[in-house]
A = this chain, B = another copy of it.
């Protein structure tokens, strides 16, 4: 786990006039933290899920409300059921959590970019820790599944989403590896998720990280009127 790099002490910082730009690029640091979501994050979670539905052109399937999310999330301890990690970003070191969960130590990492990241929606995704603004950049939503062949649980990743202005920077990898790290910590056997078969870039990315794409399995879904009807199939 990478700790957030503290700002360099004054003595180590070159005087601006002494710093040739071509040899000591200062860049634009971004301090990031992955932490467990809490009930007060539901408005952000709802907006992130909606953005994901827009991105996937699946808004016709989107019916989640803040109320529906609130009523069936955060009912179990973290990792025992539906669990959400949030990605926070800031241009300054992020203050420690006032009430950290005993279940999870936040993962912090500092990035350094050549150009600043421009976030046109920063107001809608801001949290303030005291006076300090921190932006919610993405999330991963996961829960335990189970392999009866292995005789042990794993994690199923339902959603992995990074807002558009923060993509292709390694943040998605950071979120997914946080889930993998938690799985290993708990002695779980697998992390699984699904991908669309035409999403070649995603498949290549997953295979490069060591994942296997299973070619033969298909998802079956019983929902709506068919679900209502089938509950009485045994009468």
Contacts and interface: CB of A to CB of B under 8 A. Distances in A.
Interface stretch (A12-20, A92-100, A117-125, A182-190): A182-190
A102 interface: no
B190 A210 contact: no
A211 to B, nearest CB: 5
Interface in A27-55: 49, 52-53
Considering residues A62, A151, A184, A216, which has the most beta carbons from chain B within 10 angstroms of its beta carbon? A151
A235 B1 contact: yes
A24 interface: no
Given A64-B150, A69-B151, A143-B146, A220 B234 contact: no
Interface residues of A, number: 84
A63 interface: yes
A210 B228 CA distance: 10
Given A211-B222, A218-B195, A227 B148 contact: no
Contacts of A213: 218-220
Interface string A187-218: 00111111111100001001001111111111
A105 interface: no
A184 B153 contact: no
A184 B228 contact: yes
A137 to B, nearest CB: 14
A141 B151 CA distance: 12
Nearest to A154: B223
A72 interface: yes
A103 interface: no
Contacts of A76: 76, 80
Contacts of A233: 173-174, 176-177, 180, 209
A192 B173 contact: no
User: Which 9 residue pairs spanning A and B have beta carbons closest together?
Assistant: A64-B151, A210-B226, A68-B151, A181-B231, A177-B233, A174-B234, A180-B231, A177-B234, A190-B223
Given A177-B234, A217-B218, 12 more contacts: A63-B151, A64-B152, A141-B148, A143-B146, A156-B156, A173-B234, A184-B227, A190-B222, A192-B219, A194-B218, A209-B230, A210-B230
